[in-house]
Amino acid sequence: GQQLNQSPQSMFIQEGEDVSMNCTSSSIFNTWLWYKQDPGEGPVLLIALYKAGELTSNGRLTAQFGITRKDSFLNISASIPSDVGIYFCAGLDRGSTLGRLYFGRGTQLTVWP
């Protein structure tokens, strides 16, 4: 199957700091997605990217679809305590007969007040 490498594995930051995380793949994806998971809940979609080079924002979150189509990154500006959670990248494999979503292993974000 597809391998998505997400880094860092965990981050401990102070409230107000900016955060960066990224995801790389061994193969090309047509769509990159970023999800956030709160404890005890299912993942919630934050940002979807559909074109190489695309830069998309959602409030304090900004994500980019890498030009090579093998990577994506997510930035969170001016972090707040409710940003705590696990952030997952996911790539959509449109090359298969039916689109299949592959997930990274997640970045655990902790924000200190």
What are the residues binding other proteins (CB under 8 A)?
A: 1, 4, 6, 9, 30-31, 33, 40-45, 48, 50, 88, 90, 92, 94, 98-106
Beta carbons within 10 angstroms of residue 20's beta carbon: 14
Q: Taking the complex as a whole, how short is the minimal distance between the CB of residue 105 and other proteins, in angstroms? A: 4
Query: C-beta of 22: minimal distance to other proteins in Å?
Result: 15
**Distance from C-alpha of 54 to C-alpha of 60, rounded to nearest angstrom:** 17
- Beta carbon nearer to other proteins, 28 or 113: 28
**Between residues 37 and 77, which has the closer beta carbon with respect to other proteins?**
37
Task: Answer for the pair 25, 91: CB distance below 8 angstroms, yes or no.
Answer: yes
3-state secondary structure of 76: strand
Reading the block at residue 68, the tokens are 């090579």
Closest Cα partner for 34 from 18, 12, 50, 16? 50
In the complex with other proteins, the residue whose CB is nearer, 60 or 105, is: 105
Tell me whether residue 77 or residue 103 sits nearer to other proteins (CB atom). Answer: 103
